[in-house]
């Protein structure tokens, strides 16, 4: 979480926004934004999403649910091929 917090802090600084401005836009307290930037694991994921939205990084949220290539490959390996019964005469 600390890497995520560092990235959020960098995004805020690049936009020249204060912690208070981000907190106001994300409808949370400045303390919460500071905790996010420090990588506190106790902050709810919804608050993280609101802060990302406040920083206009909400498109990055889609990376959380990107297509699961590994899971898809594992599923394909475990699928059994169906066999038809032979015709009775």
Domains in the chain and their CATH numbers?
1-70 (1.10.260.40)
Chain centre distance of CA 72: 20
Query: With 80 as the cut, is the pLDDT of residue 82 above it?
Result: no
Average pLDDT, the chain: 88
Residue tagged 């899971």 (tokens): 71
Query: With 80 as the cut, is the pLDDT of residue 66 above it?
Result: no
Q: What is the CA radius of gyration of the chain?
A: 22
Over residues 55-75, mean pLDDT: 80
Over residues 10-33, mean pLDDT: 97
- Predicted TM-score (pTM) of the model is 0.71
How many Å apart are CA 19 and CA 13, to the nearest integer?
Answer: 9
Number of Cβ within a 10 Å radius of residue 77: 7
**pLDDT-based confidence at residue 81 (cuts at 50, 70, 90):** low
Give the torsion through C-alpha atoms of 59, 60, 62, 67, to 10 deg.
130
């Amino acid at each position: 979480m600390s890497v995520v917090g560092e990235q959020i802090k960098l995004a805020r600084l690049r936009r020249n926004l204060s912690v208070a401005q981000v907190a106001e836009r994300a409808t949370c307290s400045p303390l919460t934004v500071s905790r996010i930037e420090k990588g506190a694991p106790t902050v709810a994921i919804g608050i993280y999403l609101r802060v990302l939205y406040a920083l206009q990084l909400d498109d990055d949220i889609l990376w959380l649910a990107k297509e699961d290539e590994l899971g898809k490959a594992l599923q394909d390996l475990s699928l059994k091929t169906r066999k038809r019964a032979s015709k009775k005469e």
